[in-house]
């Protein structure tokens, strides 16, 4: 699905002062090093503080929705709900991972990161005008620990104590890891916890989906809903945080409208017809040929390619290793050798995408060459449990096809190697069919939700036919797709993992053994590897940026050798089309363009 532009994530209060809280309150937290912005900053560096207010920003998107509650497992939430809810702190998208005060105007962090205290801004208000207090924060923690999404339940389980010494102060303490270390990311994760109104939910069930607008504290509220088809947000005119430095120059449009379409080609035509104001284009074929028309030629539609320095999503055809068919790494590696990805890239994507060779592509976090420095140090304790050539041979993707220099002969060689690996795993071609010793054929289903993904999936399935493998592509509606993903009811699917420049606890949610058995988690591949667990857990404990980068590269290298997906492609730039009446600031932040800072002329 094309990505819409969204923003798009009591032990401390003992009567005696906590020795780790000796530093005075600060205006934010940086994961590593110091904050880039001083305490007296007036606006984020990538906004236009003088941007005018007013107008409407419309997006034509694909998919559907059946809920306005984005913080539970059930349902498919509407896009844009992040503008309704707020957090104690908020990100600067021009730094790897730094948070600045939003609902909380001051924060104190223990020296060892074992505790954090947030001081809530006395001006903070819910959209009905009532004060937002520490009681709401404590309610939000308990509600999301009980009924929230699996990643939040995983993170918030580390809170060992929470209390509100007064209505404007909330304090959290955190459990140590099994090795005695402290998860240094936890103060930041608590700063990013969505805050809900205790009074609003006192007469409602937090665990249930709802199409009733939920009370928030953010700059927008839900104005109207047509379930599955359309949602409209209106700017809160008396928004409490409009003068906060982290909000100046943002949320400028009076209305945000999301119109849903079942087919992305129809959504593109709606944009070109003026029924949308901005579109993030993830399909290179559409970018190359789909925008031509009078509006583009006369300058009413503007197309831009904006570089970014964030990790792009690691997209691929993901194996469900819970299925016995894909439990053997040799099988997974073999299937990745069959396609001619060079031909797919040129024919389907006009050569505009880069083949993904990392779980953190387009960033400094991607493993390259041989492990060294901090990365080698992170891998060393597991040397006896890792393939020896991981330390001596760089990871490379199979190359074959006319664009790789070795032509069809290279593709045939890859498929011979694939058959050799399959034979080692107990599979042989008999009468043109790949079967095991019991005569069971190697056959599986590729589950999709977006018809635009069918082209790649069908090419992949066709590439397996010479190996005697029968792969069937099945596309279902978004609600059924989401339900099957949450139950891990699929053989293979086309999805992605997205990470920031400062990965942390979510890596266990993506790849950890515990998450593999937790329905609704993002460990779609069912990875259960103690080495992956240890490396993923170590990332959040890194005390320097260099250590974090080394540990992420180590995890990347181990995941790549596990062949948990057949990697596809990513774009090194953001391709955005907009009508000329929509304007953006001159500065693009580290993570790429942020629609909340744009304005309508």
Model pLDDT, residue 10:
29
Tell me the β-bridge partners of 182. Answer: 176
Residue with tokens 């629609």: 595
- The pLDDT value recorded for residue 319 is 98
> For the whole prediction, is pTM greater than 0.85?
no
Q: Tokens for 138, please give them.
A: 């404590």
**CA distances from residue 539 to 505, 508, 545, 553 in whole angstroms, order as listed:** 8, 10, 10, 10
* All structural domains of the chain: 19-226 (3.40.190.10), 314-570 (3.10.105.10)
Q: Beta-strand (E) ranges in 265-375?
A: 278-280, 301-307, 314-319, 354-355
Write the pLDDT tens digit of every residue in 12-63: 232 233 334 435 678 999 999 899 999 999 999 999 999 999 999 999 999 9
Pair 277, 57: CB distance under 8 Å: yes
Q: How far apart are CA 409 and CA 403, in angstroms?
A: 12
Q: In this predicted structure, what is the pLDDT of residue 407?
A: 63
- CA dist list (Å): 590 to 427, 497, 571: 47, 19, 15
- Mean residue pLDDT of the chain comes to 92
* Residue-level pLDDT at 3: 45
Predicted confidence at residue 282, as pLDDT, reads 87
* Confidence at residue 499, expressed as pLDDT on a 0 to 100 scale: 93
């Amino acid at each position: 699905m094309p990505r819409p532009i969204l923003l798009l994530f009591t032990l401390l209060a003992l009567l005696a002062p906590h020795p780790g809280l000796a530093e005075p309150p600060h205006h934010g937290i940086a994961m590593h090093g110091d904050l880039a912005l001083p305490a007296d900053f007036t606006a984020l560096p990538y906004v236009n503080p003088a941007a005018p207010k007013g107008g409407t920003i419309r997006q034509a998107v694909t998919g559907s929705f059946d809920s306005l509650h984005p913080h539970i497992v059930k349902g498919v939430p509407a896009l844009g709900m992040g503008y309704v809810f707020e957090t104690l702190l908020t990100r600067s998208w021009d730094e790897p991972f730094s948070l600045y005060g939003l609902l909380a105007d001051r924060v104190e962090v223990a020296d060892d990161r074992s505790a954090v205290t947030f001081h809530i801004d006395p001006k903070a208000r819910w959209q009905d005008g009532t004060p937002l207090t520490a009681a709401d924060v404590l309610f939000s923690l308990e509600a999301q620990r009980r009924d929230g999404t699996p990643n939040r339940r995983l993170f918030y389980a580390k809170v060992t104590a929470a209390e509100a010494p007064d209505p404007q102060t909330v304090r959290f303490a955190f459990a140590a890891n099994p090795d005695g270390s402290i998860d240094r990311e936890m103060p930041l994760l608590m700063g990013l916890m969505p805050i809900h109104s205790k009074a609003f939910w006192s007469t409602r069930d937090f665990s249930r989906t709802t199409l009733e607008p939920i009370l928030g504290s953010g700059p927008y509220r839900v104005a109207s809903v047509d379930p599955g088809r359309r949602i409209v947000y209106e700017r809160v005119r008396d928004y409490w945080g409009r003068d906060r430095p982290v909000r100046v120059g943002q949320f400028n449009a009076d209305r945000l409208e999301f119109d849903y379409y079942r087919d992305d080609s129809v959504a593109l035509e709606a944009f070109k017809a003026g029924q949308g104001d901005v579109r993030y284009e993830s399909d290179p074929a559409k970018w190359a040929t789909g925008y031509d028309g009078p509006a583009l030629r006369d300058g009413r539609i503007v197309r831009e390619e904006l570089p970014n320095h964030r990790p792009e999503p690691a997209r691929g055809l993901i194996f469900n290793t819970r299925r016995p068919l894909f439990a053997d790494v040799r099988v997974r590696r073999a299937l990745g050798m069959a396609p001619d990805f060079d031909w797919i890239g040129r024919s389907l994507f006009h050569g505009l995408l880069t083949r993904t060779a990392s779980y953190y592509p387009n960033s400094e976090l991607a493993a390259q060459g041989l492990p060294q420095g901090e990365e080698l140090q992170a891998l060393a304790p597991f040397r006896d449990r890792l393939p020896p050539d991981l330390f001596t041979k760089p990871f490379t993707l199979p190359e074959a096809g006319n664009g790789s220099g070795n032509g069809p002969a290279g593709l045939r060689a890859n498929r011979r190697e694939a058959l050799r690996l399959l034979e080692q795993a107990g599979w042989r071609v008999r009468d043109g069919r790949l079967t095991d010793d019991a005569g069971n054929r190697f056959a599986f289903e590729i589950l999709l939700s977006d018809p635009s993904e069918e082209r790649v999936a069908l090419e992949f399935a066709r590439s397996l036919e010479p190996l005697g493998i029968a792969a069937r592509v099945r596309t279902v509606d978004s609600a059924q797709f989401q339900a099957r993903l949450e139950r891990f009811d699929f053989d293979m699917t086309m999805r992605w993992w997205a990470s920031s420049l400062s990965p942390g606890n979510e890596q266990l949610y993506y790849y950890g053994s515990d998450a593999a058995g937790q329905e609704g988690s993002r460990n779609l591949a069912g990875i259960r590897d103690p080495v992956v667990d240890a490396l993923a857990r170590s990332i959040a404990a890194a005390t320097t940026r260099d250590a974090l980068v080394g540990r992420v590269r180590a995890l990347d290298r181990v995941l790549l050798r596990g062949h948990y997906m057949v990697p596809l492609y990513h774009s090194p730039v953001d391709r955005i089309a907009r009508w000329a009446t929509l304007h953006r600031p001159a500065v693009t932040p580290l993570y790429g363009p942020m629609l909340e800072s744009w304005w309508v002329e």
